[in-house]
Amino acid sequence: MSVGFRICSRKQAAPLELVAEFAKLPVANVSDCMGRLAAAGPRLRPMHASGGLAGVALTVKSRPGDNLMLHKAIDLAKPGDVIVVDAGGDLSNALMGELMLAYAVKRGVAGFVLNGAIRDVDAFLKTNLPTFAAGVTHRGPYKDGPGEINVPISLDGMVIEPGDIVLGDSDGVLAVPLDGAEKILRQTLAKQDAEERQMKAIAEGKNDRSWVDAALKERGCEFPDY
């Protein structure tokens, strides 16, 4: 098998039931429960009209501006998969457009995360398949390879393994490692519950702000004119 031009099988995949539970939660809260260390970078922005992204990672590593392996990934995708492409972040050529989008919808693809560009933006807005990309250009892609499918990839330092859970909303994209996902889910649900109680306290004028002055005092802050 040639490293750099290969198609691997996915050894494991997050259960769709688990993905569905994560889909109910804000990406920011999941991120907080992962130590605020993982992020796919601020360049990746939603290219669809509205709604969040949640699915199982089908990873692609491709040469910048080339979508041969992305085409094959759509052929291989199972319903509920999110196709995540590391194409180096290059915006010179679009990785996909309207035709590939229509085919992906037919295949049951849950969405795309593309560290590269798209084109036919109006089609993405109309179709509203959750898609995050680094930019837009009208220039089309090449189809020569090389590339790899179902290998570990990295987006802005965030490692994504095949089968991980991929989430996205207006705050950005996050990959939840399959190993440990259930624990992260429990922690996020607890955080969500705490935030809902805090929102209720704010609405009722009962929000406890004593922690602010306590934190300032602990860090040695002075209030000479306070």
Tell me the C-alpha distance between 156 and 132, whole Å.
14
108 labelled as ligand-binding? no
Q: Does the annotation list 120 as a binding residue?
A: yes
Query: In the numeric block, which tokens belong to residue 164?
Result: 């991980």
Residues 6+ apart with CB under 8 A from 72: 7, 149
167 is in an annotated binding site: no
Q: Is 25 exposed, middle or buried (0-12, 13-18, 19+ CB in 10 A)?
A: buried
Contact assessment for residue 10 and residue 56, using Cβ atoms and an 8 Å cutoff: no
Region of residue 90 (phi > 0: left; psi between -120 and 50: alpha; otherwise: beta): beta
Distance between CA atoms of residues 137 and 91, nearest Å: 7
In the block, which residue shows the tokens 């990959």? 175
Q: What ranges in 11-57 are assigned the alpha helix state H? A: 16-22, 27-32
34 is in an annotated binding site: no
172 is in an annotated binding site: no
The position carrying tokens 């693809």 is 109
Question: 129 and 101 in contact (C-beta within 8 Å)?
Answer: yes
- 35 has binding-site annotation: no
- Token pair listed for 121: 């933006």
The phi-psi region of residue 221 (left if phi > 0; otherwise alpha if psi is between -120 and 50; otherwise beta) is: beta
Q: Which residues are annotated as a binding site?
A: 97-100, 119-120
Q: Which residues are annotated as a binding site for substrate?
A: 97-100, 119
Q: Which residues are annotated as a binding site for Mg(2+)?
A: 120
